[in-house]
Structure 1
């Protein structure tokens, strides 16, 4: 959500920032709505003041025996009593129109975000790890996985496309990855573990920006709730409609949860394999930060996500997304892309975003610094630390051998009950 006062004072800068995201200019429309709203408020206040003034004058006129003046004043008061409710209704409608328009506009990119219309404008900042040299042609996970317990057919039979059943050691490896990630983020990087709700109300999805624009990408229940597309929704909304103690910031939350996405906007993409599922697990990281420290918090979260890939020995690269490729609520995003030898390509495994005060405004989440009376909006950040299913894919492809077996990374040994290798059935 955007600050209409900022738009009034900086219309050219606002439209220029939207243009970097490929969005049309909005300031003139928004300012016109705001001016109309403010004019109605002024007219309403003046009418209320005049009604009160005239009501008092009626008694005075009657006391003087000036019945003509009293009658005129009563007629004026009666007219105002009819006019004011209409003005108040109009103000509510114009305010709602303004809020709806503001809610549909994406966040503005940071100044250091590169220009670009799509992923071709993203900038590679770093590579870690050398892709393994295989003495055979590495295969994709979708070809190796079925013999190891990645049951695409059963998942499709039970639930339809983009659902998979994991069985035996494959299921245990998936569980081990999630547990390791959560232990790593809470034990090493200072995130507090949360077991959040998986079903949320409209207000929660609005707060993090999934509603109203991306309703078709969510699963809606018959009782009006939504299945979370990411634990970002539940974790970030832990501070909705609160005034926090500035000295307590940053707040860092982590959760390992199922996530549910209808993928309505991704038809035809990654239909084969385990990359893009309707149901998946993810360790989500969320931080609630002081505005002066949110950039440093962004780097902290980035390092926390990268450390998981490094602990697993998975080569990756860090990308800075361009303005046209960022998510709706982000003002700056790093993507981590893991090397998949079966595909011969780097694929996204984590997005780490700073939303500034964009989500905080939608949630009305503020803080008060020590010694200050006024409150300010917090900054919110979120990132995957990591997507468990995609990490499983990366482990399968990077740790495969020529016979279709997959070695278990050493760091996962405490979670695997003595299993060191997944063998084909």
Structure 2
């Protein structure tokens, strides 16, 4: 693959001589050329920018130097490739572009020739995009929803993401298959020797040599990690219309395995972050016990468990209605389903209830915000479990049974 990069800071691209990308260049797998945009400016100051028409802060990169630089790249590259009519795909990093993803990296890796235009200041004169688009494919790509000083950092990231997909760049090609984003999921956690470090043990399943069990564990970890960190990557299993669009019923012991998975997905991130109670490691038999001891309701969409809550009379305090395990699949959170679940759980309270009670992590800011907005107040002191707080609300504050 041939790569051309145009920049006013060509030395910024020096890291591409390092590591696997540098080795790929030395092995002839990657033909990289860096060009100084200022070489195509014709005044003694080598000026490549000017003030914007219409006024405003900052400077805009001029069309003239860019068109000459791109023409030079096309002429030089076509000659080197022995294909006079060849043109590169021009990639312009910018915050206004389409998000750069692993899928796009794969698409670019299939191209024989890429050219990168590193903008600076307030950007490149818009006419350059139009001019270039008449001569070659142009893609404006963004690393994320933030602004950098220039395109060089983005080019470093994009070149590495693309080049490592080329045959021969990565020694073990199979390692590319199990990486984050390759099939829409994030990568599973990895461990190495020693088996125990700082009082922390490697998961037992990885030490037993049962490859089928290891594969199942890794897949489960990928789903849980994706749900916790990047729920947007998971396909929605339920419409955003609300609980009424889902299939609701009373849970039975047969629901325990799915409830265990949902609990892990919802609570493990908090356990890891705050050292909370070990709900996420709850054995399956204890999940079944909870179904027997509480009135547990579950909601499914196309057979998949997506939400749950459980309620009961407080066995020790008369007139108190306990609400627990209010859970929404991570990729459906932020759509108001949690608030609906809470209202539904409150509506199940018997007529003689005077106090509604629930419990959450002491540092669970999102949960606490929702509960306070619903009229709950935190009780002083530690909650029913270590690292938690109890919240209560008087029944007279507006809850209506139904």
Indicate the TM-score class for this superposition, using the shorter chain for normalisation: under 0.3
Q: Which has the larger share of helix?
A: 1
When normalised by structure 2's length, the TM-score is: 0.24
Structure showing greater relative contact order (alpha-carbon pairs closer than 8 Å, 6 or more residues apart): 1
